[in-house]
Amino acid sequence: MNKAKRHEIFSRLRAENPEPKTELEYSSPFELLIAVLLSAQATDVSVNKATRKLFPVANTPQAILDLGVEGLKEYIKTIGLFNAKAENTIKTCRILVEQHDSVVPDTREALEALPGVGRKTANVVLNTAFRQIAMAVDTHIFRFGNRTKVAPGKDVLEVEQKLMKFVPKEFLLDAHHWMILHGRYICVARKPKCDACLIEDLCEFKEKTST
């Protein structure tokens, strides 16, 4: 895919949604961190349902620590893998209290040192909470990069690196949100909605079905 085509793809995505936002509900970097921690292998909808009950009760590292693992589980038990997530969340909150004065760090190294926080989670927090250029490649963005040929790669790291290289600089800050929303609602896994796609004529997906 050439540079001009990539530029037009992101121009159209920006025109349709000038200020894209995550669908996770949060009001602070800490709330976002916890929401992203809980979202692994779970939908944003299920996470939001849980955090709407959790955050009014506990939305600081100390408050969640005070709930304890079992107390936290009561709020997040509707989310997949909630046992492991509860353990990691409590450990993360303890580190934030003891090592970071209860403030979410704004560097990749410090974020990835938190239990349960991998590269993707760190990238989401850096990009969404701190407005740093970072590319969190989830299943939707991996599919978007490979299917459109904007940034094909064998694994998420390769797709991330290609996106950082090939997405025009003016779009890098918000590209993550445009791609995830497009992948979630239009470029879906099983039957992509090509007829409703605003970049269909630019996409290099080789298996488009003809009507």
211 residues of the chain, pLDDT tens digit each: 899 999 999 999 999 999 999 999 999 999 999 999 999 889 999 999 999 999 999 999 999 999 999 999 999 999 989 999 999 999 999 999 999 999 999 999 999 999 999 999 999 999 999 999 999 999 999 999 999 999 999 999 999 999 999 999 999 999 999 999 999 999 999 999 999 999 999 999 875 544 4
Q: How many domains does the chain have?
A: 2
Q: Which helix (H) or strand (E) holds 11?
A: helix 3-16
Cα–Cα distance between 95 and 181 in angstroms, integer?
Answer: 32
Q: Does residue 141 sit in the same domain as residue 190?
A: yes
Q: Where are the alpha helices (DSSP H) in 125-209?
A: 139-148, 156-166, 172-185
Q: Does residue 56 sit in the same domain as residue 86?
A: yes
Q: Does residue 55 sit in the same domain as residue 120?
A: yes
Give the per-residue pLDDT at 210: 45
Give the per-residue pLDDT at 209: 47
Cα–Cα distance between 174 and 109 in angstroms, integer?
Answer: 22
Cα 100 to Cα 66, 96, 190, distances in angstroms: 17, 5, 43
Cα–Cα distance between 48 and 46 in angstroms, integer?
Answer: 5
Catalytic residues: 120, 138
Q: Does residue 164 sit in the same domain as residue 120?
A: no
Residue 186 lies in a domain: yes
Q: Does residue 120 sit in the same domain as residue 148?
A: no
Q: Does residue 94 sit in the same domain as residue 166?
A: no
Give the per-residue pLDDT at 211: 40
Q: Does residue 74 sit in the same domain as residue 146?
A: no
Q: Which of 5, 2, 19 is nearest to 199 (CA)?
A: 5
State which of 129, 148, 168 marks the end of a domain: 129
The domain that contains 104 carries what CATH number? 1.10.340.30
What is the extent of the structural domain holding 39?
29-129
**Is 189:143 a contact under the CB 8 Å cutoff?**
yes
| Predicted TM-score (pTM) of this structure | 0.89
The position carrying tokens 């025009």 is: 168
Give the per-residue pLDDT at 41: 87
The domain that contains 187 carries what CATH number? 1.10.1670.10
Cα–Cα distance between 44 and 40 in angstroms, integer?
Answer: 9
Residue 208 lies in a domain: no
Q: Does residue 169 sit in the same domain as residue 112?
A: no
Give the per-residue pLDDT at 1: 84
CA dihedral 8, 202, 133, 42 (to 10 degrees): 140
